């Protein structure tokens, strides 16, 4: 048994012992609307790039719904649901060989600016997959506000994803981390395993990003990173 699988087993037992009323499941069609609403509301309220540009639910909802529709077909994404089946957390995962490509007409002008910035964080060409089941991308993550032990919840979802995708034969995962809270959770996972798992492959400073002579993210403190890991 790998250390990650072992840790997952302990964490699952902990979940059961604490009787946490949450279960991690594969994101399916039944979760589409709730997952879309959770991601849209939390990105507008708590994701730094969306906050700086003042994105609204209308800016993000159509494209998030289309993205979730796409990832559902691949069956790699996760949700945490409570006893009533309500979605409390979402982690979208897509196969990099068949990534989500949004319809340009569904992307608002503000979202185009964010996508332009994120496009400059390029996944290394040498690591691009040549077939399915090689590389996966964790695109969107959100935890419901007020969710007790939410730190543990996101860590559980990252570990579940890591373990499941390794089991499916994936060699590499990556994410574009725009929220320092995700980076903090990755550091926690590394502290648990006492080794580096998440490697920074590229770093950009949004405050330096220029669009038509303007610096739309001038207020952004720090950097955003392309993080790669090998299950
Ligand atoms: C990102 C998100 C999923 C993280 O949820 P979470 O796992 O519940 O994370 P928490 O809010 O508990 O924060 C985790 C840790 O980050 C650290 N942290 C908080 N603010 C931080 C900051 N500004 N800089 C660095 N670390 C920070 C803290 O140590 C915190 O742990 P603590 O509660 O023990 O203090 C959640 O904030 C969210 O839904 N955000 C909106 C959507 C989003 O931004 N998605 C990610 C895009 S990459």
Domain CATH number, residue 139:
3.40.630.30
Asked if 31 contacts 79 with a C-beta cutoff of 8 angstroms, the reply is yes
Q: Which domain holds residue 68?
A: 3-229
Q: What's the number of domains the chain is made of?
A: 1
- Which residues fall within 8 angstroms of residue 92, CB to CB, at 6 or more apart? 27, 39, 67, 68, 71, 77, 138, 139, 140, 141
Quickly count: other Cβ atoms within 10 Å of residue 30's Cβ.
14
CA distance 36 to 90: 9
Give the pLDDT confidence score for residue 13 in this predicted structure. 57
Q: What is the pTM of this model?
A: 0.92
Q: Whose CA is closest to 91, among 205, 190, 173?
A: 173
In the reported structure, the alpha carbon of residue 23 is separated from the centroid of ligand 1 by a whole-number distance in angstroms of: 21
pLDDT tens sequence across 133-164: 999 999 999 999 877 666 788 888 999 999 99
Q: Is the minimum distance from the CB of 143 to ligand 1 under 6 angstroms?
A: yes
Q: Whose CA is closest to 94, among 75, 121, 120?
A: 75
Quickly count: other Cβ atoms within 10 Å of residue 81's Cβ.
18
Give the mean model confidence (pLDDT) for residues 55-59: 97
Give the pLDDT confidence score for residue 10 in this predicted structure. 65
In the reported structure, the alpha carbon of residue 43 is separated from the centroid of ligand 1 by a whole-number distance in angstroms of: 12
Asked if 226 contacts 127 with a C-beta cutoff of 8 angstroms, the reply is no
User: Could you give the percent of the chain with pLDDT greater than 90?
Assistant: 83
Q: Whose CA is nearest to atom 18 of ligand 1?
A: 181
Give the dihedral sign, CA 84/90/91/97.
positive
Q: Is the minimum distance from the CB of 46 to ligand 1 under 6 angstroms?
A: yes
Q: Whose CA is nearest to atom 12 of ligand 1?
A: 151
Q: Whose CA is nearest to atom 15 of ligand 1?
A: 181
């Amino acid at each position: 048994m790998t250390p990650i699988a072992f840790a997952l087993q302990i964490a699952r037992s902990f979940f059961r012992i604490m009787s946490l009323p949450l279960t991690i499941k594969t994101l399916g069609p039944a979760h589409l609307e709730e997952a879309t609403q959770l991601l849209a509301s939390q990105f507008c309220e708590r994701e730094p790039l969306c906050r700086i540009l003042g994105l609204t639910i209308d800016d993000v909802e159509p494209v998030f719904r289309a993205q979730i529709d796409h990832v559902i077909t691949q069956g790699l994404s996760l949700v945490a649901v409570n006893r009533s089946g309500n979605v409390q957390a979402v982690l979208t995962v897509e196969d990099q060989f068949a990534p989500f490509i949004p319809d340009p007409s569904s992307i608002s002008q503000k979202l185009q600016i964010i996508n332009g910035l994120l496009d400059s964080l390029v996944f290394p060409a040498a690591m691009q997959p040549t077939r399915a089941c090689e590389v996966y991308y964790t695109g969107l993550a959100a935890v419901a506000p007020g969710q007790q032990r939410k730190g543990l919840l996101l860590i559980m979802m990252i570990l579940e994803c890591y373990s499941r995708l390794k089991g499916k034969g994936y060699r590499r995962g990556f994410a574009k981390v725009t929220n320092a809270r995700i980076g903090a959770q990755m550091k926690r996972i590394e502290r648990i395993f006492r080794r580096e798992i998440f490697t920074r492959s590229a770093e950009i400073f949004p405050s330096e990003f220029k669009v038509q002579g303007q610096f739309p993210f001038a207020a952004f403190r720090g950097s955003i990173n392309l993080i790669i890991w090998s299950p």
